[in-house]
Amino acid sequence: MTMITQGNPTAPVRSGEELDWQALDRRLKEVIPGLDGRPEISQFASGNSNLTYRLKYAAEDLVVRRPPFGTKAKSAHSMIREYRIMNALKPVYPWVPDTLYYTDDESVIGSEFYVMRKVEGQVIKQTIPADWGFTPADTRRLCRQFWEKLIELHQVDYRAAGLEDFGQPKGYMQRQVLGWNGRYQRVITPDVDEFSDVRHWLETNKPPESGNHAILHGDYRIDNIILSNRDPTAIRAVLDWEICALGEPLMDLGNALAYWIEPDDPPYLKALQMQPSTAEGMLTRTEILALYSELTGRDTAGFLFYLVFGYFRNAVILQQIYYRFYHGQTQDERFRSFGAATRNLGEHCRRLILAG
């Protein structure tokens, strides 16, 4: 396998998302040793919501993260929360970037922000680049490493890592179900089903709390990892920790598997594919559950609840976006089909429940 060099590309900073570069440069030079000269400035494509910039100095390649413009430091966009989990995890879970600095001093760029060291490597989206020359065995090796990294995260002792007060893991499932059900109720439009039967099923079929609490990533997908340039089947870093929490790890697994599309899935699921999970050699959801059980000792036989929740959570996320389109709060034509996608995912939940 040849060395890959395409990297993780950035682009010019988007209009309206510029920062006070001089003030930022001054602050970084005050707190990070070895910075000299003027940095090359660019921007990464948006992740979930937070804005991510690259400042490339001669001796350091830095990434700056800040909340979206117009927001205050709430839990959904809290930089200190994201910075803290990465900082605490690094000694016990090395697949996070090096964190270098955090400040809540809004006088610098208008918001809190943090800085991490850029990790060299590849980020892939829906497909594995053809010029990588992957065999099915290469793909399977990447897939297994990807899921093993989630399993390793779930096995981190969060108390020993100093994260015991990071959240309240007890009652996590109840809060998640009620929270996402409530979010859906607030964004129902006349052209989508209320799915009251699915919401009721989720509220009345929660498994007992296992007490086996863990750190949850919350948005675990292949497009949120960085692969090695030398061996793109190897993982160098896991990104986007902005919605991580403490709770039931099978919820995290269910959310991740609801993103995982297989070659035999119906077209409405394939239309939502965000990662190369259909490539020849990838594990199936059944094989992933077996791997999880093998490496953790957890029984995944009764996994239906977690998978239905994962799919319904995705439906709510799509409907939240569609609600804005439906009411003219955004004109982005990409969102016109999201109502139909919400209906399809809700019906998919119904079919899974009926199949039991």
Quick one: CA dihedral 254, 82, 20, 119, positive or negative?
A: negative
CA dist., res. 60 & res. 56, Å (int): 6
CA dist., res. 22 & res. 142, Å (int): 41
> Are 254 and 309 within 8 A, CB to CB?
yes
Interacting residues of 207 by C-beta distance below 8 A, sequence separation 6+: 173, 302, 305
Query: What percent of the chain lies above the pLDDT cut of 90?
Result: 85
**Is the pLDDT reported for residue 115 higher than 70?**
yes
**Residue 198 one-letter amino acid:** V
CATH topology of domain 21-117: Phosphorylase Kinase; domain 1 (3.30.200)
How many other CB atoms are found less than 10 A from the CB of residue 172?
18
Determine the 3-state secondary structure of 156 from DSSP.
Answer: coil
Cα–Cα nearest to 7, from 227, 158, 204, 259: 227
Q: Under CATH, domain 130-355 is a member of which superfamily?
A: Aminoglycoside phosphotransferase (APH), C-terminal lobe (3.90.1200.10)
Tell me which of 45-49, 114-118, 253-257 is least confident. Answer: 45-49
Give me the count of residues in the chain.
356
- pLDDT-based confidence at residue 7 (cuts at 50, 70, 90): low
What does the radius of gyration of the chain's CA atoms come to, in whole angstroms? 21
Mean pLDDT throughout 285-311? 96
Q: For residue range 147-204, what is the model confidence (pLDDT) as tens digits?
A: 999 999 999 999 999 999 998 999 999 999 999 999 999 999 999 999 999 999 999 9
Interacting residues of 196 by C-beta distance below 8 A, sequence separation 6+: none
**Is the pLDDT reported for residue 295 higher than 70?**
yes
Mean pLDDT throughout 58-70? 91
How many other CB atoms are found less than 10 A from the CB of residue 346?
23
Q: For residue range 229-255, what is the model confidence (pLDDT) as tens digits?
A: 999 999 999 999 989 999 999 999 999
Interacting residues of 153 by C-beta distance below 8 A, sequence separation 6+: 93, 214, 215, 217, 238
Mean pLDDT throughout 83-111? 95
Segments making up each domain of the chain, as ranges:
21-117, 130-355
